[in-house]
Chain A
Amino acid sequence: MCRLSREKTIKTTTDIDSLRSEIRDKSVRVIDVRREEDYKQNHIPSSVNLPLANLLSDDSPERVQKLFQSLGIDDETPVVVYDDTFGALASRVAWTLEYIGHSDVSLLETTYSKWKSLGLEHETKTPEIQTKTHSLNLNPEILATSDYLEQSKEKPNTLLIDNRERLNYLEQHIPGAVNLPYRTLASSDKILRPKDDMKRLLENRGVTNNAEIITYCGSVGTLSGLAYYALKSVGLPNVKLYVRSFKEWKNLKKPTQKQEDASYWDLSAE
């Protein structure tokens, strides 16, 4: 119960104004997950760079613990993550931080391009970072593995959500999964829809509070990471990310499902 209420109070996104004042107060660690060369050109003031590729090169808990420590993050540091890829890469980093037991992490509500197009402050200098100590307190209830998925097959209240585009889903998906393309999660100017909009969409789909929800996407858990936060943003208590996603599932030669007897690809203008 305690854990549930704690999760509910976690904010999934930080709005622009709050972040600007937190930066002024020096009360936040901002992580820019774009590529190093982009970061070097300019970035949100005081932000540190953690390219997603760097994190993915070895995302074992021990390594990411060291990584985050080297970015000056301890157990209590409030962290805000941003990217320029509609929040998907930032989500993957934020989720990893959550997974090793960090509770105060959120996504910037918008992308870096949008931030810049609004004429907001940015800089080129790299901040000095003091390494901090972060404990390792794994949060297995937000992680799903392929084994876990297999076990959940029979559970009536588990909902598997595929966040890839519709055509990819139709062609091949994990049996029983439903499709919620990542594009559905955003609004025109924010990485996530307004709460009420998101709620209505999920309600139409029959997603209820007591369901266990597992998200996955094509390869490394970015698109589905964003979905993880979209679902959390409306207060759904039990969401997991199948972080190795469909790529692993296929490599393991697990069963897949397909929409048969229709040549839907030929309707695409690509």
Chain B
Amino acid sequence: MTVSDVKQTRTDSIKPKVNWARMEEAEDFAKTVKLFRQGKYDEDSFRRYRLQHGAYGTRMTSDYAMVRIKLPAGEVYPNQLEKISQLSEQFSIGSAHISTRENIQLHWVILEDVSEIFRGLAEVGLTSREACGNSVRNVMCSPLSGVCADEKFDSTPYALATAKFFLRNPIAQSLPRKFKFNFTCCEQHGMVRMVDVGLIPQLRESNGIKQRGFKIFLGGGLGNRSFVGHQLEEFTPEEDLLYTSLAVLRIFDRLGDRKNLARNRMRYLVNDMGWDKFQNLVLKERAIVRATQSVVTSLEIDDSSDIKRPIKITDQSGFSVPDGYARWLKTNTIKQKQSEYHSVFLTLEAGDITATQLVALAEIIREFSSEGKARTGFNQNIAIRYIHNDDLPNLYSKLLQAGLAKSGALTMTAPIGCSGTTSCNLALTNSHRLAKEIQRKFLEMKLDEDVDLQDSSIKISGCPNSCGQHGIATIGFFGGGGRVGKEMYPNYQMSLGGRSDGETMLGVTCTRVPAKRVIPVILKIIELFKQHKKSNDSLKEWIHRVVNEKEDSAIKSVNDIRKILDPLTIPPTKEDDPDFYSDYGTDTSYHTKTGKGECAA
């Protein structure tokens, strides 16, 4: 029997488990925009309303918005990707952007069209509700949850249940500030210490019975000031998950700073109060929540799963593996704990994907993924999971046709760049384009194949607000303006040694690097590493030792690195190098210009 004899049972039938949408919100939004334009709705209330529904303002204009589509746990289905593709062509720029928090964003949308996007999203069960504003933001989950070899159990159902519980819940409609949950699979693959509530699945054995629970971290976060989260207790059993979340939210709601916008994330409350006191308060509050819930409140955990390898009807004779496959396999795929499967990560440029690619991706998921859906990741990327090992070469050739087969997704050559001056009101530099420039250069140099660099990261923010997560990057940058006499140039502050794993720490400030010198500076750091590394050393480990002053080679501190880099960062005169004085993506002279911030990640 050949495969073509078998009746085709593609995974088209796999439909989203949860409908996150409410069609009436689209109508309401359209009405509200009209009232606002007629002056019947004041600027501030409209802004709050708009943000609560997931529409941000856009750089230097009030005519456009950015719509942030929430994907709880990062899950996205083929029909949803097709809809997003269509909406991006109709109402946005023909590309969509995948954020660092598993959202998909449509930029430069005319405010009057936002409700049409809501409508389209509702048709496929998606929402942007509470994707912005002072609410519980998209509940994240590691893209490897369920397939990670190191996880105790799959936390995805818990992430989805948490998202479901808080979405449109009155308790989360006007918090002092935004509030974020990150679930993960293991220490390595998540960001549990850099978020309001971070959760790692744990198992505890008592009386021979295995009990599910979580290690919960509270009060971390990246921002103008970043903090590392604290672990609440040894083990939080699963039945306490919701009570703990509610307790924390209630405390934040009650005590969070509602006046000082710059200091009202929960991490400031934790910091001001001191961890011990905050911890006590949470435990007490949890006891009250547990005792006073009039109805038993619990999360609806749905951990049914439906793994079915799509049956191929294509004729495989004559298929030859395309060039570049080995390199891609090495830098874009991870073996799953289910031994016959791999998870595949797509390399995008700073999270951008075209409408045409979204459609191709939807078809590829149907054709290859045994779970029939995909997941957005933490690094402005997408993972297609449950790809049967035998299907990898074929998948690669399909990705190649769609222009989605670039290598390096899981390496340092896939930098993160926030939206920067491409759309963000607060941006000082074009961090987005810089990330793309670095990627293009490094892939050309084949740096993705260098195992020493693999676990390092480059992350770039266009201003001190850390949407680009520079603080946890091995090499991180945030934008600002530099000045020579009257002339300005785009400049970045560089930090080294940040990380978000079990040894989470914030990067240590090294020096200022002009935008047009960022690439040579990173290359210089790599060169120094290669000169001084020990065998088996990775760049990440070497920098970790340097920033902690534990390195015994000639480079002993960040200061030593700075001294070596100094000559590279001296501004040339404008006559010698006019290009130095303009940012990437424009040829006009650089100047800083910002508008009112709404904190657009």
Contacts and interface: CB of A to CB of B under 8 A. Distances in A.
A252 interface: no
Interface stretch (B30-38, B174-182, B331-339, B469-477): B30-38
B43 to A, nearest CB: 19
Contacts of A117: none
A179 B422 contact: no
Interface string B33-63: 1100100000000000000000000111100
| Interface residues of B, dominant DSSP | mixed
B34 A262 contact: no
A114 to B, nearest CB: 16
A264 B419 CA distance: 9
A267 B97 contact: yes
B115 interface: yes
Contacts of B90: 181, 183-184
Contacts of B432: 263, 266-267
B94 A167 contact: yes
B423 A262 contact: yes
A154 to B, nearest CB: 22
A110 to B, nearest CB: 17
A200 B31 CA distance: 11
B422 A262 contact: yes
Contact of A170 (B91, B108, B586): B108
A203 to B, nearest CB: 8
A196 B416 CA distance: 42
Contact of B115 (A167, A204, A264): A204
Interface string A227-270: 00000000000000000000000000000000111111111111
Given A167-B93, A188-B86, A204-B115, A264 B423 contact: yes
B352 A269 contact: yes
B585 interface: yes
Contacts of B61: 259
Interface string B576-593: 000000011110000001
B116 A262 contact: no
B422 A266 contact: yes
Nearest to A204: B112
A261 B59 contact: yes
Contact of B110 (A179, A188, A262, A266): A179
Contacts of A206: 34, 37, 112
Given A206-B112, A261-B59, A268 B421 contact: no
B353 interface: yes
A187 to B, nearest CB: 10
Nearest to A267: B422
A265 B585 contact: yes
A111 B70 CA distance: 34
Interface in B44-98: 58-61, 86, 89-95, 97
Interface string A87-105: 0000000000000000000
B244 to A, nearest CB: 38
Contact of B60 (A184, A205, A260): A260
Contacts of A166: 92-94, 108
Contact of B354 (A259, A265, A270): A270
Given A166-B92, A181-B89, A204-B112, A261 B60 contact: yes
Contacts of B585: 263, 265-266
B91 A266 contact: no
Nearest to B421: A263
A267 B115 contact: no
A109 to B, nearest CB: 18
B163 interface: no
A263 B354 contact: no
A267 B352 contact: yes
A239 B413 CA distance: 52
A32 B470 CA distance: 57
A201 interface: yes
A262 B432 CA distance: 12
A201 B116 CA distance: 7
Contacts, number: 103
A263 B34 CA distance: 29
Contact of A268 (B352, B419, B586): B352
Interface residues of B, number: 44
Find the residue from B86, B110, B349 having the highest chain A CB count within 10 A.
B110
A266 B593 CA distance: 18
Contacts of B116: 200-201, 204
Given A181-B90, A204-B34, A263-B430, A269 B107 contact: no
A84 to B, nearest CB: 18
A267 B95 contact: yes
A165 interface: yes
Contacts of B421: 261-263
A204 B95 contact: no
A167 B95 CA distance: 10
B380 to A, nearest CB: 11
A270 B355 CA distance: 10
Contacts of B375: none
Nearest to B357: A269
A260 B33 CA distance: 24
Contact of B108 (A205, A261, A264): A264
Contact of A263 (B93, B110, B422): B422
A208 to B, nearest CB: 12
A206 B349 CA distance: 37
A129 to B, nearest CB: 38
A181 B108 CA distance: 12
A229 B199 CA distance: 55
Contacts of A188: 86
A264 B60 contact: no
Nearest to A268: B95
Contacts of A201: 113, 116
A266 B349 CA distance: 10
A223 to B, nearest CB: 13
B422 A264 contact: yes
B366 interface: no
Given A266-B430, A266-B584, A184 B94 contact: no
Given A262-B60, A263-B584, A265-B422, 11 more contacts: A166-B93, A184-B91, A184-B113, A204-B112, A261-B421, A262-B58, A267-B108, A267-B422, A268-B94, A268-B352, A269-B348
25 contacts: A166-B94, A167-B94, A181-B91, A183-B90, A200-B30, A204-B33, A205-B113, A259-B60, A261-B59, A262-B58, A262-B59, A262-B60, A263-B421, A263-B430, A263-B583, A264-B93, A265-B422, A265-B585, A267-B95, A267-B352, A267-B419, A268-B352, A268-B354, A269-B95, A269-B353
The 3 closest A-B pairs by CB, nearest first: A269-B352, A263-B585, A266-B433
Interface of A: 165-167, 170, 178-179, 181, 183-184, 188, 200-201, 204-206, 259-270
Interface of B: 30, 33-34, 37, 58-61, 86, 89-95, 97, 107-108, 110, 112-113, 115-116, 348-349, 352-354, 357, 419-423, 430, 432-433, 436, 583-586, 593
